[in-house]
Amino acid sequence: MNYALKNCRIYNGEEFLEGFKDIKIENGKIIEIGDKIFCSEEIDCQGKIAVPGYVDIHTHGIAGFDNSNLSEEEYFKMTEAYHSRGTTSFIPTFPTIDSKTASDTFAVYLRHSDEIPCIHLEGPFINEEKKGAQNPEFILRPDKAEYANFISEYGDLVGRVTLSPERDENFELTKYLVSKGIVVSFGHTSCSYDIAMEFFEITDSIATHMFNAMPPVHHREPGITVAALMNENTACEIIPDMIHLHPEIVRLIFRLKGASKTICISDSIAATCLDEGNYIFSGLDIKVMNGSARLRSGNLAGSIITMAEGVRNLVKIGIKPEDALMSATSAPAKAMSIDDRTGYIKTGRMADILLLDEYFTVRDVFKNGIKVT
């Protein structure tokens, strides 16, 4: 399908382009961006904002689908649910679950490895003290043998592992994963500042849902939380539901890290886009009510927002639109080294494009050049 999107204001992943532009698309890729591009088939965008499709590198599910426990048929329905809501690229994130369920789902993703960039293991290699909504029954010590046993023959699927550095003896698992080109992030951790600085000598890392399930900031015990803010190369995930983080903390992260190192994620669970009620997450009972999902203990259990809602929330609290958009497009794509195909509106990239209205609401979605909504 070859056509041109006409008369749109473009945010290209780095900046807003001047004036209204056209985007020519052929065979699912962007081949030209400019003024008054001619094409036999044209779509008049009527001044809408064209932005790269949102890239969610930390999500557990949506619309009733748990992306760590699903069938082949459910995979297609889940993917459609993400795409239709503006998330054109996503990395399925596995919480701490049993190895049998994980392996069965790994097999589904292996059959679609050309569509899914990789998978992210948020568990099981975490610290039980900071387990949050992770199932303690299946937590494992960060260890090469434990990792190999858990991932089995599906190692090539893994692109990111979250672990607690203080439990990784001599950082052996961290070093092994880095040697394999796998992104090692930290989370669900009680790591001290000093251990964190040793960890950052091995990997710049990503802070998994920054400030949540990690040490609070203390003036005599800064911990890995402050270390991440001070290390200029460490990126920080934010969940912009304004429940996981106070708006002023969100502004603080943007101010300290900049938009290129601030990564908007949904951390969404299967209950996202569904009604309030009782659900299961990672084998644990949760209740969705008043805009949040929580365990019976009151602990937050992921979020129930989409990336599109997250971007709108960021703009509402005063984050500059170009910064909010970068955190949801090129920043996560760069963090996971998939920016050669997505995260930008530039020639040669896949035509994953959203059309937004003046309120940053998603009005049209194009995935690989095909109109989804």
Q: Which residues are identified as catalytic? A: 267
Please say whether the dihedral angle defined by the alpha carbons of residues 159, 237, 313 and 230, taken in this order, is positive or negative. Answer: negative
Q: Where are the beta strands (DSSP E) in 95-163?
A: 119-121, 158-163
Residue 217 tokens read as: 């900031």
Give dist(CA 176, CA 178) in Å, integer: 6
Give dist(CA 178, CA 225) in Å, integer: 21
Q: Which of 69, 118, 76, 115 is nearest to 95 (CA)?
A: 69
Give dist(CA 146, CA 148) in Å, integer: 6
Q: Which of 127, 173, 129, 131 is nearest to 151 (CA)?
A: 173
Provide the b/e sequence for 73-87 (b: ≥16 CB within 10 Å): ebbeebbebbbbbbb
Give dist(CA 122, CA 158) in Å, integer: 11
Write the burial class of residue 255 (CB in 10 Å: 0-12 exposed, 13-18 middle, 19+ buried). exposed
Q: Whose structure tokens read 């473009």?
A: 10
In 3-state terms the chain splits into helix, strand, coil percentages (rounded to 5) of 30, 25, 45
For residues 273 and 237, is the Cβ–Cβ distance under 8 A?
no
